[in-house]
């Protein structure tokens, strides 16, 4: 039995049940009901969930939408340099648990979303890849899987996944986990 941990924001909440179904009985899944929100919130949550995460064979994690959100037209909540520092700290903590850490890029938003833009999503994804790849973190490019047909995969709330989006992401997450778990 492989122990898997799923961490992250509401996008993770969208796909985690389906990931569990796709992985099946050979995998014990730890996930929490709370939204991981900002990378700093996820980092803080690692303290609370440390006993549950301990012994994980694979950790799949995402953060981004809350960090890059610009509600007041004065810039993202978390500036890119701070986002990079937070991701690096989270990665260092997770790598002490297992070398099998996967980071999922932030999914696209509908173009009419006035608080999160795909321009910022791509910027923050670049920051994440450039920060985490040198640390040996595997990147699961969920943005790339969904960006070709955003109306099909992103629902009317302009940020969360449609049923088809859930299926695409869950499949990509399950495949990444299976690949890492077999190493």
68 exposure class (CB count in 10 Å sphere: 0-12, 13-18, 19+): buried
Q: Which phi and psi angles does 85 have, rounded to 5°? A: -65, -40
Structure tokens at 167: 């299926």
Residues 6+ apart with CB under 8 A from 129: 105, 139
CATH of domain 2-181: 3.40.50.1110
Does 183 score more than 80 pLDDT?
A: no
Q: 138-140 and 27-30 as β-strands: parallel, antiparallel, unpaired?
A: unpaired
What is the average per-residue pLDDT within 135-163?
98
Calculate what percentage of the chain has a pLDDT beyond 70.
Answer: 100
Band of pLDDT at residue 74, cut at 50, 70 and 90: very high
What is the average per-residue pLDDT within 115-132?
98
Closest CA to 47 of 108, 109, 97: 97
Does 172 score more than 80 pLDDT?
A: yes
Calculate what percentage of the chain has a pLDDT beyond 90.
Answer: 98
Please provide the DSSP assignment of 108-166 as one string: P--TT-SSS-HHHHHHHHHHHHHHHGGGT-EEE-HHHHHGGGHHHHB-TTSSSB-HHHH
What is the average per-residue pLDDT within 63-84?
97
Does 175 score more than 80 pLDDT?
A: yes
What is the pLDDT, as a whole number, of residue 84? 98
Residues 6+ apart with CB under 8 A from 117: 70, 109
Does 116 score more than 90 pLDDT?
A: yes
């Amino acid at each position: 039995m492989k122990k898997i941990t799923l961490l992250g924001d509401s996008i993770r909440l969208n796909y985690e049940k389906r990931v569990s179904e796709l992985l099946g009985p050979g995998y014990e899944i730890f996930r929490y009901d709370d939204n991981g929100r900002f990378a700093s919130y996820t980092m803080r949550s690692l303290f609370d969930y440390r006993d549950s995460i301990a012994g994980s064979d694979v950790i799949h994690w995402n953060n981004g939408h809350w960090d890059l959100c610009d509600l007041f037209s004065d810039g993202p909540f978390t500036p890119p340099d701070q986002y990079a520092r937070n991701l690096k700290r989270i990665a260092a903590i997770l790598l002490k648990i297992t070398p099998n850490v996967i980071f999922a890029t932030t999914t696209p938003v509908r173009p009419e979303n006035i608080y999160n833009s795909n321009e910022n999503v791509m910027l923050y994804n670049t920051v994440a890849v450039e920060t985490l790849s040198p640390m040996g973190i595997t990147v699961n490019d969920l943005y790339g899987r969904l960006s070709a047909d955003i109306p099909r995969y992103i629902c009317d709330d302009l940020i969360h996944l449609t049923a088809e989006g859930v299926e695409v992401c869950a499949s990509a997450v399950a495949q990444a986990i299976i690949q890492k778990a077999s190493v």
